[in-house]
Amino acid sequence: MAVTEVPSVSPSPTSEGTTQRSTLVSTDIAVLVIYFVLVLAVGLWSMWKTKRSTVDGYFLAGKDMTWWPVGASLFASNVGSGHFIGLAGSGAAAGIGSVAYEWNGMLMVLLLGWLFLPIYIASGVTTMPEYLRKRFGGKRIQLFIAVLYLFIYIFTKISVDMYAGAVFIQEALQWNIYLAVVLLLAITAVYTIAGGLAAVIYTDAVQTLIMLIGALILMGFSFAEVGGWQGLMDGYATAIPSIRDPNTTCGIPREDAFNLFRDPVTSDLPWPGVLLGMSVPSMWYWCSDQVIVQRSLASKNLLHAKGGSLLAAYLKVLPFFMMVLPGMISRILFPDEVACADPDVCKAVCGNSVGCSDIAYAKLVMELLPAGLRGLMMAVMLAALMSSLTSIFNSSSTIFTMDLWRHIRSRATEWELMIVGRVFVLVLVVVSILWIPLVQASQGGQLFIYIQSISIYLQPPVSIVFLAGCFWKRTNEKGAFWGLLLGLIVGVVRMILDFVYPVPLCYEEDTRPDIIKYVHYLYFSIILSLITLGIVVGVSLATEEPSPQQITRLTWYTRFDPVEKKEETVVGEMTTVEHEEKRSGKAEQQRKNSSSSELSTKSTSRLKSVLLWLCGMEKQKEGAKASPPPTEAVVCSLEEDPCLKNVVNANLIVCLSVAVFLIAYWA
């Protein structure tokens, strides 16, 4: 077992580390350049291939995606740089417990494909807040959820991924963390704003392949260095830093490090909480989060959406081997740095006196890999970061544009919606940067635990509302609204208390209030879910039933209801359809009359046309006939080919069996 001596801890991030890396920088940069050229080529190809100047084209990729890019994008959107840094850090600090979130996600992404997606497709929605508006009526739930989603994205997604990517760049290049963040954002925002969802999904597919190749290579190097599986099992228990207070538990690995189900009272992840408390917020993420559902809604049909869910579920097996176990190996190889137990030492190693377990993955990359492969792993981290951030940026702009801006400006043109969606991405970035310092200091330096604890305070009420809306026809708007509001108030109070009374360090006395000290956040998730469910059921039963329009094709039991044709209302002596045809005819005549004056300016507007194409905002050519939109019945079809349906269902059984086996084996 290689143990770094304490005297080398302080200088390693500066002089020695820089000298080692400077001789390898040209090879690594060459690999990075190849990576960026590949991603840029795929992004440009997708921009050329898809129509980005319409709302459906930009936000839902024209609803023309097949199963494999959808599945790869689901995985890449979920596994960002926060996963690499966070899962490896939690593995280094506490063992394999955090992988329970990944294998729970395997089950939930399958729930999305088989239970929730048929409802969303039948309802014909673009965003999740839009579904709630259709299901419950009114505007307040839609607006409330839209604002809440944007806050959740900032707290648990954007700022976390930016911080994680910056940690890796800081470890590799010794840059200031905020300089690294700004650089990453500049790279990421460009093709998100330009390309829309199609560019995001296709580049996600490429980046998933890069992530898998790079992470599996690093895993091989890690196991070779530590002496294989037995070396990991034997070495983790003795991976103790040389500087620690002998009268505390600081720096000592957990005895249950290789157990998934742990003590229900004293452990960091109690097993009842893993089984129940973890599932509700996980259901929100996989079954009603705009980032995930939007990728599935872009599928050609329900079968391709199910195939995408299956591919994502199979890929979710890999983070245990690609991230958690290498993180544990990093602690074995570098215990004085990764597992530092003294605040002064931690401050010297990573700039965070709370702990340095989050540098575990980056430390492996910089110490174990030769020239060229370091550049590949830098590409892997950038791929993870960019795929996750672009997905969140695109979905955030979708929610803001379609649910909030259209409410503020009901007559906004499609051109205006395209501009607003792109500008909002820039606003979101600035707010997320301001949140990074709190991320850095939270949850004892374990980034992944920060993500999950914050999620558990905000997401269960939303999960319960979606669950009740999709599977209980009696749920009405008043029950959903008050359950959501009161549940979120309870969750936010607990979240604020957690920030006011942070988890004490290993050498500090625990003086937190009993409600925080003795009620684990996974148990709190169960309590919060039951409170919300009780309010939703009680208020719904005490008030009026929902109207038929709020149920038809909007619940599991009514998803096959026939699509209602929109009736033509009379305007004067003309129907609305005739009225619109007359208006469009006048507008067409006006365009023809003005076309002659526009010919003289065409030669001067070529540069503008190129810029508009790059942004996906090209205008239609004059006189060009727009293709008629597909009928709602076709768009909302749930038909499945019988043969392919059997193949997909057989794969569902196999995937569920794999998930149950993994959980039972490591329990």
pLDDT at residue 188 in the model = 66
By CB atoms closer than 10 A (0-12, 13-18, 19+), residue 643 is: exposed
Q: What is the amino acid identity at position 127?
A: T
220's CB contacts (< 8 A; 6+ apart) are none
pLDDT given for residue 497 in this prediction: 86
**Residue 307 Rama label (left phi>0; alpha psi -120 to 50; beta):** alpha
Quick one: tokens of 630? 């597909």
Rounded Cα gap, residues 306 and 74, in angstroms: 12
Determine what percent of the chain falls in helix, strand and coil, rounding each to the nearest 5. Answer: 75, 0, 25
As given in the structure block, the two tokens for residue 449 are 């635990």
CA distances from 337 to 123, 209, 357 (A): 53, 31, 8
- By the 8 A CB rule, do 290 and 157 touch? no
- Residue 357 near residue 171, CB atoms below 8 Å: no
Structure tokens at 293: 């559902």
Indicate the SS3 state at residue 574. Answer: strand
> CA-based Rg of the chain, rounded to a whole angstrom?
26
Q: How many other C-beta atoms are found inside a 10 Å radius of the C-beta of residue 221? A: 19
367 to each of 228, 349, 362, how far by Cα in Å? Answer: 18, 15, 9
CA angle 509/514/515 to nearest 5° reads 130
Question: What is the distance between the alpha carbons of residues 284 and 156, in angstroms, rounded to a whole number?
Answer: 13
Q: Is 48 helix (H, G, I), strand (E, B) or coil?
A: helix
- The sign of the torsion formed by the CA atoms of 264, 265, 269, 274 equals positive
The rounded distance, in Å, linking the Cα atoms of 365 and 650 is: 39
Amino acid 4: pLDDT? 36
Degrees, nearest 5: CA angle 213-215-216: 65
**pLDDT recorded at residue 658:** 93
Supply the pLDDT for residue 46.
65
pLDDT of residue 605: 60
Torsion from C-alpha of 99, 100, 101, 105, nearest 10 degrees = 110
pLDDT number for residue 387:
67
Domains of the chain, each with CATH number or no CATH: 6-554+644-666 (1.20.1730.10)
DSSP state of 543: S
The residue ranges of the chain whose pLDDT is under 50 are 1-24, 52-53, 57, 61, 443-445, 567-582, 586-604, 613-614, 619-634
DSSP 575: E
